[in-house]
Amino acid sequence: MKALSIRQPWAWCIAEGLKDVENRTWRTKHRGGLLIHASKTFDHAGYLWIETEMGIDLPAPSAFRRGFLIATVCLADCVTESDSPWFTGPYGFVLRNPVRFNAVEWRGQLGIFEVPEADIEMPEWFVD
């Protein structure tokens, strides 16, 4: 299974179905199922931006899981332009169908990385 580490609170926004584009400086050819890993790093400036610019009332910073696989999404596309308010580029991973599951502690990595099949209940659409 493929996975992507994302800092909190961005990972939480994806898992909650609020954030539909993940910005990266690199492109990917991967399409299909993707595990969302909440990295151990917390983005305090991003937290303030989400609350002020997006008007989202976030949980307290201490409430966010860090160092866990927390959700699955479908990576539908990799774009250089988008109407999504979350898009800042230069590349945007278009994400669909977020599904939370019981968090599994996991060590993240850079880029899209492999996670061996584990006791994670995958939605029917999830394709490796």
pLDDT exceeds 80 at position 111: yes
Instruction: Note if the bond before 9 is cis, omega within 30 degrees.
Output: yes
CATH class of 2-109: mainly beta
Residue 101, token pair as written in the block: 């599951």
Count the helix, strand and coil residues of the chain and give each as a percent rounded to the nearest 5. Answer: 15, 40, 45
pLDDT at 124 over 70: no
pLDDT average, residue stretch 113-118: 81
Give the span between the Cα atoms of 19 and 13, in whole angstroms. Answer: 5
Q: Domain residues of the chain, as ranges?
A: 2-109
Q: What is the mean pLDDT of residues 112-125?
A: 71
pTM reported for the whole predicted model: 0.89
The predicted model gives 96-122 an average pLDDT of 84
Query: Given this model, what pLDDT does residue 121 score?
Result: 62
Structure tokens that stand for 95 in this block: 């994400």
| 55-103 tens-digit pLDDT | 999 999 999 999 999 999 999 999 999 999 999 999 999 999 999 988 8
Decide if pLDDT at 127 tops 80: no
**For all residues of the chain together, what is the average pLDDT?**
92
